[in-house]
Amino acid sequence: VFTRAAAYANNKLSTQKSALPEVQVLNNLSWLKDVNLLDFLRTTGIHFRMNRYDFYELYKTRGCTIQLGGSDQWGNILSGVELINKAELGGASDAAPAKEKGFALTTPLLTTSTGEKFGKSAGNAVWLDKNLTSYLDFYQALLTLLPVEEISSVMQDHQSHPEHRIAQYVLAEEVTLMVQGEAGLNAARVATQVLFGTEYSTLKGDQIIESLSSDPRLVFCSEEEMFDTSLPNLVATHKLASSKSAARQLVQAGGLYLNNITQRDPQFRLTRDVLVDGKVAIVRAGKDKHLVLALH
């Protein structure tokens, strides 16, 4: 992820690659496991800033002078800055050193449209791991490194034609390219065409399967299950409908779609010739609930 993000930054920013420091991911156990409690209290505890010892350790051993975090962590981050600056005086004085040595930088929290914070506890975290947040779901989120001038231009176009969702597409493309790389972006584009497009003739079955490889909406079926089970029963079995009766009601109401075509026959069974590239069935219930069935 860091390698892909650095490559993305090099393409967007004026900073040369040689000037970007190597990203290091460290475990604080490597410096805490050998710390003696009495020594720790004597060197750090006297400053009453024990909460941010990790920042101080990275300052001493790695030359780290800036800590970046969300605005809700301002107090914690600032305590690390104070520990660094006080410890560098060599005593417990509250006077600030002549030249500050540690610095804090916070950013506003990213929130949902209702003002709710993104995170694990809220159950809406956006993960970097494609197995936790699929390429397609990731494609819907977050920020870019586009220049402000380009963002302004995009927003002008977007405001002129909001129905085209220009800004959303640019945002999705940029953040996915930054974190997931070119392969992840291509997979997200295909998945978007599969789930939200109307034309599948240019898609290959293997391409669809690869694009949704980490997405729970993709289900593999044997030939026996795929072709010997009615479509409403398949829908119920794989939880696109709550029950077989609910699936039949969905069909009767005209709310079940196969490859974007309404299916009204409650006894309809799939055949290879109706599958996309002979391998995949794209099933939709209502406007936005999807199930993608793929042959083993």
Q: What is the pLDDT of residues 175-186, one digit of tens each?
A: 777 777 788 888
Bridge-based pairing of strands 289-295 and 280-285 is antiparallel
Place 275 in a pLDDT band, splitting at 50, 70 and 90.
Answer: very high
**Residues 6 or more apart from 186 whose CB is under 8 A from it?**
211
pLDDT at 293 over 60: yes
Amino acid (1-letter code) at residue 124 = N
Q: Is the dihedral of CA 203, 207, 211, 216 positive or negative?
A: positive
Tokens of 60: 């001493």
Strand duo 261-262 + 256-258: pairing: antiparallel
At 170 the pLDDT is: 77
Instruction: Say how far apart CA 13 and CA 21 lie, in whole Å.
Output: 15
Residue 47 has pLDDT above 60, yes or no: no
Q: Which residue has the tokens 């914690």?
A: 76
Q: How far apart are CA 187 and CA 214, in angstroms?
A: 11
Check residue 37 and give its pLDDT. 76
Reported confidence tier of residue 249, pLDDT bands at 50, 70, 90? very high
Residue intervals in the chain for CATH 3.10.290.10: 217-295
Q: Are 294 and 224 in contact (CB under 8 A)?
A: no
Q: CATH class for domain 1-10+111-206?
A: mainly alpha
**What sign does the dihedral 89-91-92-94 (CA atoms) show?**
negative
What is the 3-class SS of 60-108, one letter each residue? HHHCCCEEEEEHHHHHHHHHHHHHHHHHCCCCCCCCCCCCCCCEEEEEC
Residue 274 has pLDDT above 70, yes or no: yes
Q: Where does CATH 1.10.240.10 sit in the chain?
A: 1-10+111-206
217-295 CATH, one of 3.10.290.10, 3.30.200.20, 1.10.540.10, 3.30.470.20: 3.10.290.10
pLDDT averaged over the chain? 80
Angstrom distances, CA of residue 220 to CA of 123, 225, 241: 27, 10, 17
- Give me the pLDDT at residue 225, please: 96
Question: Whose CA is closest to 45, among 4, 7, 83?
Answer: 83
What's the full length of the chain, in residues?
296
